[in-house]
Amino acid sequence: MRIISGSLKGRSIDFVKNSTTRPLKDVVKENIFNILKHSKLINVKIENSHILDLYSGIGSFGIECISRGASKVVFVEKNKNSSNILKKNITKLSIEEKTKVLNDKIDNVLNMFDNKDFDIFFLDPPFADKDFIKILNLIKNKKIFNSDHIVIIHRDVRTNDNLKNYLSEIMIKKYGRSKIIFGVFN
């Protein structure tokens, strides 16, 4: 797996090789970044942004953000094996000063934040997981987002999550089995 663009372009990152993880495909990741950069519907730029990468796995999204100029990424991953690989990737790429890895459950971690700390939220929960909606509610209630922010959620194209109480959807894009939801807290 390689970094697509930016200062770390072409560098490789390690990933978990098992049947329970599903790395974000490069084509999907590239399309997310194209939308962030070019859509007139989104008021957030990656450059100098603070990002909360939830269910981060090996961190391919957040690492790509650092490569493209983000100033800080907080990764949250409860799986110890994935978290360890993420930490190794961060060290290998020498980006420790721009990152923080939290190996814990997301609802525990969210209690650590109490300021409008984040511009971009990326959630990539397991496709069968419905608890991520509780996480959206926690973020919304804690108000840890800046006025200009974006929430990006990676779901299976067949899921039908009711997010209207939490997010105002800006757009939904489908790529094969993946569905990417872009929205803001309402």
pLDDT tens per residue, range 69-100: 999 999 999 999 999 999 999 999 999 999 99
The predicted pLDDT at position 130 comes to: 83
The answer to whether residue 167 sits within a structural domain is yes
Whole-prediction pTM value? Answer: 0.94
Among the residue ranges 21-35, 68-82, 95-109, 132-146, the one predicted with the least confidence is 21-35
The predicted pLDDT at position 153 comes to: 97
pLDDT over 60 at 174, yes or no: yes
What confidence tier does 21 reach under pLDDT thresholds 50, 70, 90? Answer: low
Tokens at residue 62, please?
A: 């957040």
Coil vs helix vs strand at 159: coil
Which residues form the domain of 150? 26-185
What confidence tens digit (pLDDT) does each residue in 105-119 have?
999 999 889 888 899
Tokens at residue 4, please?
A: 């697509």
The answer to whether residue 12 sits within a structural domain is no
The answer to whether residue 56 sits within a structural domain is yes
The answer to whether residue 74 sits within a structural domain is yes
For residue 2, the cross-strand partners are 12
The predicted pLDDT at position 1 comes to: 84
Q: What is the mean pLDDT of residues 171-182?
A: 95
Q: What value does the mean pLDDT of the chain take?
A: 92
pLDDT over 60 at 20, yes or no: no
We report the CATH number of the domain holding residue 77 as 3.40.50.150
pLDDT over 90 at 103, yes or no: yes
The answer to whether residue 32 sits within a structural domain is yes
pLDDT over 80 at 19, yes or no: no
For 120-146, letters b (16+ CB in 10 Å) and e give: bbbbbbeeeeeebbebbebbbeeebbe
The answer to whether residue 181 sits within a structural domain is yes
Distance CA 9, CA 27 (A): 15
Distance CA 89, CA 139 (A): 27
The answer to whether residue 130 sits within a structural domain is yes
The predicted pLDDT at position 18 comes to: 59
Number of domains the chain is built from: 1
Distance CA 4, CA 46 (A): 15
C-alpha atoms less than 13 angstroms from C-alpha of 178 in its C-beta half-sphere: 21
Distance CA 52, CA 62 (A): 8
